[in-house]
């Protein structure tokens, strides 16, 4: 049995409030999903306000504004995790500025491997996030679940973990950054037995409306 997770990065924000352009983008993504015949059965998201705002905007486009939202801390932003060493985050940003000119997502992604004080946490976040997606798929076989999360050191490393990357290979994400608002379609095959179930990762690819260009596997 197949479970589909639509893994969406939150929209651009200012102080946790989506900027109008990205709120409109998320509404449009919801409309595109609905137009493509996608039926979302449930939504699970990071507890942070920008993720909640993204979920509400996407729900508006889907026409499912009354859908309940379930919060999942393992989908949260690494910088907001209480385990994150704050000095290491400062060092990451400083390295991005010094070596690439600013602390944009793309430039911070290039410095993850060199910021060794973050490695143990990032490896743990990748494992926890992958386990969360597997549990969602196992608990809701056959469903389509919209999951809202964060980029740079959450979604990308979780997807690499599912694809069996480990150690510093998990952090080679500079060429795999997920744009704000973008949806990645993650497919699991769920096997159900009398007393338990198990979800096996099959694939992940950017979701695009059926009429657009061919998708590429991640």
Contacts (Cβ under 8 Å, ≥6 apart) of 207: 6, 33, 183, 184, 185, 215
pLDDT value, residue 218:
55
Rg value, the chain, Cα: 17
Phi and psi torsions of 86, nearest 5°: -60, -35
In a domain, 111, yes or no: no
In a domain, 93, yes or no: no
Which residues are paired to 184 by β-bridges? 7, 206
CATH number of 122's domain: 3.40.50.1240
pLDDT value, residue 202:
98
pLDDT in tens, 180-202: 899 999 999 999 887 788 999 99
Domain that residue 14 falls in: 2-76+118-206
In a domain, 68, yes or no: yes
pLDDT at 214 over 50: no
In a domain, 85, yes or no: no
pLDDT value, residue 212:
55
pLDDT in tens, 89-120: 999 999 999 999 999 999 999 999 999 999 99
pLDDT value, residue 78:
85
How many residues are given for the chain?
Answer: 218
For residues 22-44, average pLDDT: 93
Q: Is the pTM of this model over 0.75?
A: yes
> Residue 16: pLDDT band by 50, 70, 90 thresholds?
low
In a domain, 104, yes or no: no
In a domain, 156, yes or no: yes
pLDDT in tens, 34-90: 999 999 999 999 999 989 999 999 999 999 988 889 999 999 998 888 899 999 999
* Cα–Cα distance list, 35 to 4, 30, 146 (Å): 17, 9, 16
* Residues 67 and 34 sit within 8 Å (Cβ to Cβ): no
Phi and psi torsions of 18, nearest 5°: -60, 135
Number of domains comprising the chain: 1
For residues 141-165, average pLDDT: 96
Tell me how far apart the alpha carbons of residues 124 and 110 are, in angstroms, rounded to a whole number: 19
In a domain, 218, yes or no: no
Which residues are paired to 14 by β-bridges? 17
For residues 158-172, average pLDDT: 98
pLDDT at 14 over 80: no
Concatenating the DSSP letter of every residue in 150-187 gives -TTTTHHHHHHHHTT--GGGGG--TT-PPPTT-EEEEE
Closest CA to 152 of 128, 130, 174, 123: 174
Contacts (Cβ under 8 Å, ≥6 apart) of 210: 36
In a domain, 216, yes or no: no
pLDDT value, residue 11:
76
* Residues 141 and 197 sit within 8 Å (Cβ to Cβ): yes
């Amino acid at each position: 049995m197949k479970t589909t997770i639509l893994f969406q990065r939150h929209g651009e924000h200012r102080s946790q409030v989506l900027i109008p352009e990205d709120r409109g983008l998320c509404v449009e993504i919801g409309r595109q999903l609905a137009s493509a015949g996608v039926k979302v059965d449930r939504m699970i998201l990071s507890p942070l306000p920008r993720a909640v705002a993204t979920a509400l905007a996407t729900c508006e486009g889907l026409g499912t504004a009354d859908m309940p939202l379930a919060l999942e801390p393992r989908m949260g932003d690494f910088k907001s995790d209480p385990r994150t060493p704050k000095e290491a985050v400062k060092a990451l940003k400083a390295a991005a500025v010094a070596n690439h000119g600013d602390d944009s997502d793309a430039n911070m992604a290039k410095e993850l491997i060199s910021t060794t004080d973050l490695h143990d946490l990032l490896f743990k976040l990748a494992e926890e996030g992958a386990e969360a997606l597997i549990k969602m798929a196992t608990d809701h076989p056959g469903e389509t679940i919209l999951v809202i999360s964060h980029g740079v050191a959450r979604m990308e490393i979780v997807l690499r973990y599912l694809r069996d990357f480990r150690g510093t290979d998990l952090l080679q994400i500079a060429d795999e950054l997920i744009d704000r608002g973008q949806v990645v379609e993650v497919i699991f095959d769920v096997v159900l037995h009398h007393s338990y179930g198990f979800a096996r990762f099959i694939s992940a690819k950017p979701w695009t409306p059926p009429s657009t260009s061919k998708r590429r596997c991640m």
